[in-house]
Structure 1
Amino acid sequence: KEEAAQVKPASARPEGFKPEQQASKASVTIGGKAIPYDSYAGTIVVHPKGWDDVPQNADKDDKNPPTEASMFYVAYFKLGEQAAQRPVTFLYNGGPGSSTVWLHMGAFGPRRVVTADSSHTPAAPYPIVNNEFSLLDASDLVFVDAPGTGFSRIAGKDREKAFYGVDADAEAFADFISQFLAKYGRWNSAKYLFGESYGTTRSAALINLLESGRDIDFNGVILLSQVLNYDNGADWPQLNPGIDLPYQLALPTYTATAWYHHKLPDAPKELEPLLAEVEQFAMGEYGMALGAGATLAPERRKAIVAKLHQYTGLPTEYIEKSDLRINAGQFEKTLKGDTDTTTGRLDTRFSGPTFDPLSREAGYDPQSAAISSAYVSAFNDYVRKDLKFGENREYKPEIETWKSWNFLHQPPGAPIPLPQSVNVMVDLATAMKYNPDLKVLVNAGYFDLATPFFEGVYEM
């Protein structure tokens, strides 16, 4: 009878996620100084917007688990510091659909994996070393995996709709941060957001939610590889005819890449003065030529083709046939196409064998192929051995979310989500006006063609 009493009725709703935590201690050496720290690997359960406004018994007979996400994080706190005297920074990668393994193991965590500079990193074993470049000397760090990525999981009815979208994702992160501040007593700490790639899109929407929606002012937002307006992206601008800015904003990155690979005719020794020249051309003569369209005079067109050849190293015949407009994938495929070599997307200094020499665009990213195994293997080893988390679980470095991701966004002042390309510039501007002391730092790489650096300059 006792056993029977413990059995739940068949109609009972399954239990949801439970918060978890594993604690450990270690030390990192930065600038010759040892910094001891506490590590906390765990999960925080978050819910869709408005979940606590629903009566608790509204779906008591629902056989689905509650619609919620278990968000995985790793937090590093320097020992011996009071919370009010110690900043805390929340870090995440982008995608959408990416975990934060890349920032964690390759940039700012206390341990990092060693990879080859611009060639394919050999297979395991991969060295995992002290990270002298970690930010732990300046701030406590919280690496957060988006719902569905890493060890984060989603559950319940319409779970993808609840978490896979520009606004839904920002709401989940706002919920996570609010709970984290309470759990670890960090309400009175200086607070920063650090997002990369789509993570910058997230940060712009998120900082406005936190400040104007939850009354949580932050001290700063750090944008790495910025993309705030998707109309400016260089990947598929040919599908958005009439918008020529992507070609203009990507041109300096084409120049930097061709310069690095020794493909420029009469290349100068110094890159930066050349880039300043190209930026001026891109927003001046080149922009006017694109705007002229079919009315561009033949002699003017010929001069623009010659300039583009000078600044990209691409054949004049190719530039002419492309109607002066080359997207990122075409450039990656063509720059070293004479040797059937494709240049990278996330880091164009990388290159690799072309998958299909007859294709128009790059079939893969040689940079991602070169380092991904090292990052994923190293983190899986580190999180289980050092952080004592993840036994018998799969860590998902990336998931496919593009087909289910809701790219509609409701910016401040709009009555509904707008049927247009994602643009969160208004969100960031609103947050900066709402909190005039908010600092924004933009970081970009000359060799990043996923988010060209001049795009970030233009947007800001």
Structure 2
Amino acid sequence: MIHRTLAALAAGAILAVAPAQAQDKAKDDKPAAVTDYEPKSASKRLTGTFGGRSVTYSATVAEQVLKDDKGAPKAAIVTTAYVAEPRDSRRPVTFLFNGGPGSGSVWLQMGAFGPKRVAIPSNAQDDGGPPYPILDNPDSLLDVTDLVFIDPVGTGWSHAIGDTDPKDYWGVTKDAQSVAQVIRQWLSENGRWNSPKYLGGESYGTTRSAAVVNELEGGYNDVALNGVILISTVLDFAAGAETEGAELGYITTLPSFAATALYHGKASAPSVEQFVEDARQFAIGPYAAFLIKGQKASSAERASVRRELARFTGLGETFLENADLRVTSGRFYKELLRDRGLTVGRLDSRYTGRDYDNAGEYPDNDPSFYGIDGGYTAAVNAYLRDTVGYDTERQYVTIGGVRDWDWNIRGGRDTNAYLNVTPYLAKALRENSAMRIFVGQGWYDFATPFFAAEYALSRTGIPQDRIGFHYYDAGHMMYVRDEDRTKLSQDIRAFIRSR
């Protein structure tokens, strides 16, 4: 203790005698303000066959520079645009992004809708090592819409400029404002203000979609949208929250437990569709009533609920009782296949993994993420750098590039309430009679459970006649399964054509 005290005093003395040097060093380390910035870009003319139609298109990777009120550059947001040639302002244009927050658009771009895709195993197996095949993607939507993929600040190659703090763009509203600004700039630069417009996001990208809709349509200087595409939806964060004392998450996750148990042979039913429907009805009926009653539920009611939970989840009644009939998803990943020495995935519970040992309460990692990430990272860099020709020394951030996210949103009936951006979509639907919403959900997705999305979008004040749900036999990124990538493409193509 004495030695540590003397060391602290010595350090204090050093700081006391040289405050000026320390301040000068801090000033030197701080990035300088930038008054002029030359954005990077690259473009290439290509041809492909999409939806059975041959399309010549330009692939353009470009930094969209955001400026402050005085015209000083503050951030460079990279967009990757695929635009059919010759250009036609009557064609729809769809703006797409992924989630996180902190995820680049690589997943939707190289996995689902871009003109090229990375080929990884379709059967929920690990993607292994390179080289990964980069193939033509006939499921791209380029036959029906131009595509603009957006990487918000801190994702992909997008970044703050000079002394701008990237945290200025890290938050539900701040992020949405920057993305909306990029969309407006792209429309102006490409003469597309009167084109049909669609917005699409995956995972947190659906949260972003709702917030961007509010920025585009919530004021007087509207950018009206024809449709919003929500893939693996999270809008009401309480609907899936697993927080002590909160009960709703157990209800909305139960049908996903059922689908997973059935997939891995831990339950029996004629079809996944029928089994999850039975699980829905149990979840919002007897199970919800039991949870609401809490410790006032009768022993007979408890026994009945325990038996049904065992049937739907594939878990033993003793385990369920020890969990007080409230199983978190993390425990489920570890427990369902413990007898086989396997865990199941979070993003896609079809995937299985092996932990260091079989005794833990939670899995070591998510096999459905480490089973795909290598292929996507290699593909986006190889294609955009080598084929399109985008030259940068920056590293492409696939996910994890932001921190200290500001989850507060302005407005609403109660600004101290949990995060729920569904009212943004509800308001836009009520005030834009042409806008429709496409919802795509995988049965085996625990990151954004399908029943939580159904719950969020069935609340009061949301027109139901312009919302369509579509379900897929995979997980969070349903397009990793070949059959579901094709089905997703066909479903969205029909959605766009039906305007």
TM-score over 0.5 for the pair: yes
For the residues of structure 2 that align with 1:210 and 1:369, how far apart are their CA atoms? Answer: 36
- Cα–Cα, structure 1 residues 11 and 444, in superposed 2: closer, same or farther, change >3 Å? closer
For the residues of structure 1 that align with 2:250 and 2:42, how far apart are their CA atoms? Answer: 48
Identity over the aligned pairs, expressed in percent?
38
Q: Is the 8 A contact 1:67 1:159 kept in 2?
A: no
Q: Is the 8 A contact 1:238 1:327 kept in 2?
A: no
Q: Is the 8 A contact 2:53 2:143 kept in 1?
A: no
2:237 is the alignment partner of 1:256: no
Partner in structure 2 of residue 63 of structure 1: none
Residues 42-70 of structure 1 deviation map (CA, whole Å, 9 limit, x = unaligned): 110125xxx41xx67xxxxxxxxx67221
Partner in structure 2 of residue 111 of structure 1: 116
Residues 357-411 of structure 1 deviation map (CA, whole Å, 9 limit, x = unaligned): 3332233210110110001001111011111113433111112434x10111113
For the residues of structure 1 that align with 2:37 and 2:100, how far apart are their CA atoms? Answer: 25
Q: Is the 8 A contact 1:411 1:424 kept in 2?
A: no
For the residues of structure 2 that align with 1:156 and 1:320, how far apart are their CA atoms? Answer: 57
One-letter code aligned to 2:177: E
Q: Is the 8 A contact 1:99 1:149 kept in 2?
A: yes
Partner in structure 1 of residue 235 of structure 2: 228
Q: Secondary structure at the match of 2:438?
A: strand
Residues 150-204 of structure 1 deviation map (CA, whole Å, 9 limit, x = unaligned): 1101135562331010010000101110101011111111000001110010111
2:282 is the alignment partner of 1:281: yes
Aligned residue pairs, count: 426
Q: 1:12 deviation in Å? A: 7.8
Q: Is the 8 A contact 2:46 2:56 kept in 1?
A: yes
For the residues of structure 1 that align with 2:91 and 2:43, how far apart are their CA atoms? Answer: 19
- Cα–Cα, structure 1 residues 271 and 67, in superposed 2: closer, same or farther, change >3 Å? same
Partner in structure 1 of residue 407 of structure 2: 407
Residues 290-330 of structure 1 deviation map (CA, whole Å, 9 limit, x = unaligned): 11111111121111111001001011111111111112111
Q: 1:21 deviation in Å? A: 2.2
Map 1:304-383; keep pairs closer than 5 Å.
Answer: 304-383=305-384
Residues 197-235 of structure 1 deviation map (CA, whole Å, 9 limit, x = unaligned): 10010111110110123311111111111111111125x
TM-score, normalised with respect to structure 2: 0.82
TM-score, normalised with respect to structure 1: 0.89
One-letter code aligned to 1:271: V
Q: Is the 8 A contact 1:333 1:354 kept in 2?
A: no
Q: Secondary structure at the match of 1:253?
A: helix
2:232 is the alignment partner of 1:219: no
Match of 1:135 among 141, 162, 173: 141
2:57 is the alignment partner of 1:37: yes
For the residues of structure 2 that align with 1:160 and 1:37, how far apart are their CA atoms? Answer: 33
Map 1:103-252; keep pairs closer than 5 Å.
Answer: 103-117=108-122, 118-157=124-163, 159-213=165-219, 214-234=221-241, 237-239=242-244, 241=245, 243-252=246-255
For the residues of structure 1 that align with 2:33 and 2:401, how far apart are their CA atoms? Answer: 28
Q: Is the 8 A contact 1:230 1:421 kept in 2?
A: yes
Q: 1:26 deviation in Å? A: 1.0
Residues 414-457 of structure 1 deviation map (CA, whole Å, 9 limit, x = unaligned): 6xxx2332110111111222212211111111111100011111
Partner in structure 2 of residue 458 of structure 1: 455
Q: 1:130 deviation in Å? A: 0.7
- Cα–Cα, structure 1 residues 158 and 40, in superposed 2: closer, same or farther, change >3 Å? closer
Q: Is the 8 A contact 1:67 1:162 kept in 2?
A: no
Q: Is the 8 A contact 1:356 1:363 kept in 2?
A: no
- Cα–Cα, structure 1 residues 314 and 125, in superposed 2: closer, same or farther, change >3 Å? same
For the residues of structure 2 that align with 1:104 and 1:206, how far apart are their CA atoms? Answer: 20
2:97 is the alignment partner of 1:96: no
Q: Is the 8 A contact 1:17 1:70 kept in 2?
A: no
One-letter code aligned to 1:45: V
Q: Secondary structure at the match of 2:430?
A: helix
Partner in structure 2 of residue 419 of structure 1: 416
One-letter code aligned to 1:229: D
Q: 1:20 deviation in Å? A: 2.7
Q: Secondary structure at the match of 1:263?
A: coil
2:438 is the alignment partner of 1:437: no
Q: Is the 8 A contact 2:35 2:73 kept in 1?
A: no
Please say which of residues 269-278 and 107-116 is displaced more in the overlay: 269-278
Q: 1:334 deviation in Å? A: 1.2
One-letter code aligned to 1:454: F
One-letter code aligned to 2:251: Q
For the residues of structure 2 that align with 1:194 and 1:282, how far apart are their CA atoms? Answer: 30
For the residues of structure 2 that align with 1:45 and 1:341, how far apart are their CA atoms? Answer: 47
2:79 is the alignment partner of 1:73: yes
Q: Secondary structure at the match of 1:238?
A: coil
For the residues of structure 1 that align with 2:99 and 2:251, how far apart are their CA atoms? Answer: 24
One-letter code aligned to 1:456: A
For the residues of structure 1 that align with 2:81 and 2:178, how far apart are their CA atoms? Answer: 18
One-letter code aligned to 1:232: A
One-letter code aligned to 1:38: S
For the residues of structure 1 that align with 2:99 and 2:243, how far apart are their CA atoms? Answer: 24
Q: Is the 8 A contact 1:412 1:430 kept in 2?
A: no
For the residues of structure 1 that align with 2:355 and 2:258, how far apart are their CA atoms? Answer: 21
2:45 is the alignment partner of 1:21: no
For the residues of structure 2 that align with 1:378 and 1:386, how far apart are their CA atoms? Answer: 11
Q: 1:41 deviation in Å? A: 0.7
Residues 312-351 of structure 1 deviation map (CA, whole Å, 9 limit, x = unaligned): 1011111111111112111111111222311111111111
One-letter code aligned to 2:435: L
Q: Is the 8 A contact 2:206 2:231 kept in 1?
A: yes
Structure 2, unmatched stretches of 5+, are 1-29, 458-499
Q: Is the 8 A contact 2:229 2:439 kept in 1?
A: yes
Q: Secondary structure at the match of 2:243?
A: helix
2:399 is the alignment partner of 1:398: yes
Q: Secondary structure at the match of 1:285?
A: helix
CA RMSD of aligned residues (A): 1.9
For the residues of structure 1 that align with 2:387 and 2:426, how far apart are their CA atoms? Answer: 41
